[in-house]
Amino acid sequence: MLTFRMIKSLTQCLRGYRRSGLRVGFVPTMGFLHAGHRALIDESVARCDITVVSIFVNPTQFGPNEDLDRYPRALEQDHDLCRKAGVSMIFMPDAGEIYPPGFQTHVEPGPVAEPLCGAVRPGHFQGVATVVAKLFNIVQPDVAFFGQKDFQQCAVIRQMVRDLNLPVEIVTVPTVREPDGLAMSSRNSYLNPVDRERAGCLSRGLLAAQAAYGEGEQDSQRLLEIARSHITEVDQLQYLELRDARTLAAVQGLVEQPAALCVAATVGPTRLIDNVLLTPPPRALSDRELELVSHVMDRQASPAAEGPRPS
Ligand code: AMP
307 pLDDT tier (thresholds 50, 70, 90): very low
Predicted confidence band at 294 (pLDDT cuts at 50, 70, 90)? confident
Summarised one tens digit per residue, pLDDT across range 14-23 is 999 999 999 9
Distance 262 CA to ligand 1 centre (A): 15
Distance CA 120, CA 241 (A): 13
Q: Which of the listed residues 27, 32, 34, 37 should we mutate to test ligand 1's pocket, taking the one with most ligand atoms within 8 A of CB?
A: 37
**Type and span of the H or E element at 129:** helix 124-139
HSE-up of 274 (CA within 13 Å, CB side)? 29
Query: Quick one: average pLDDT of 288-308?
Result: 63
Indicate if the pLDDT at residue 236 is higher than 80: yes
DSSP state of 141: -
pLDDT of residue 296: 64
Measured CA to CA, the distance from residue 168 to residue 171 in angstroms comes to: 10
Give pLDDT, residue 288. 72
151: which residues sit within 8 A by CB, 6+ positions away?
260, 262, 275
Look at residue 215 and tell me whether its pLDDT is greater than 60: yes
For the entire predicted model, the pTM comes to 0.92
So what's the pLDDT on residue 305?
A: 47
Region 121-147: what's the mean pLDDT? 98
d(CA 145, ligand 1 centre) in Å: 9
- pLDDT > 70: what percent of the chain? 93
Instruction: Calculate the CA 311 to chain-centre distance.
Output: 56
What's the mean pLDDT when you consider all of the chain?
Answer: 94
Q: Candidates 29, 82, 121, 272: which one to mutate for ligand 1, based on the most atoms within 8 Å of Cβ?
A: 29
Average pLDDT for 106-123: 98
Could you tell me the pLDDT band of residue 297, with boundaries at 50, 70 and 90? low
**In the predicted structure, residue 234 carries a pLDDT above the cut 80:** yes
Strands 89-91 and 50-55: parallel
Look at residues 56, 128, 123 and name the one whose alpha carbon lies nearest to residue 91: 56
pLDDT at 39 exceeding the cut of 90: yes
Among candidate residues 232, 128, 197, the one with its CA nearest the CA of residue 240: 232
CA 98, distance to chain mean position in Å, is 23
Q: Closest ligand 1 atom to the C-alpha of 175?
A: 20
Residue 310 — pLDDT band, cuts 50, 70, 90?
very low
Span 86-95, average pLDDT: 98
Confidence band, pLDDT 50/70/90 cuts, at residue 281 = confident
CA 9 to ligand 1 center in whole angstroms: 26
Contacts (Cβ under 8 Å, ≥6 apart) of 26: 44, 51, 52, 53, 54, 135, 136, 139, 141, 143, 144, 145, 168
What lines the ligand 1 site, CB under 6 Å?
A: 29-30, 36-37, 39-40, 146-147, 149-150, 173, 175-176, 183-186
pLDDT one-digit tens code per residue, 40-50? 999 999 999 99
Q: Which band of pLDDT confidence, cut at 50, 70 and 90, is reported for residue 192?
A: very high
Assess contact for 135 and 28: CB atoms under 8 A: yes
Mutate to test the pocket of ligand 1, among 40, 124, 135 (most ligand atoms within 8 A of CB): 40
Which residue has better confidence, 159 or 304? Answer: 159
What is residue 308's predicted lDDT score, i.e. its pLDDT? 47
pLDDT (tens digit per residue) in 154-172 = 999 999 999 999 999 999 9
Q: Which atom of ligand 1 is nearest to the CA of 184?
A: 19
The residue that leads in pLDDT, 90 or 290, is: 90
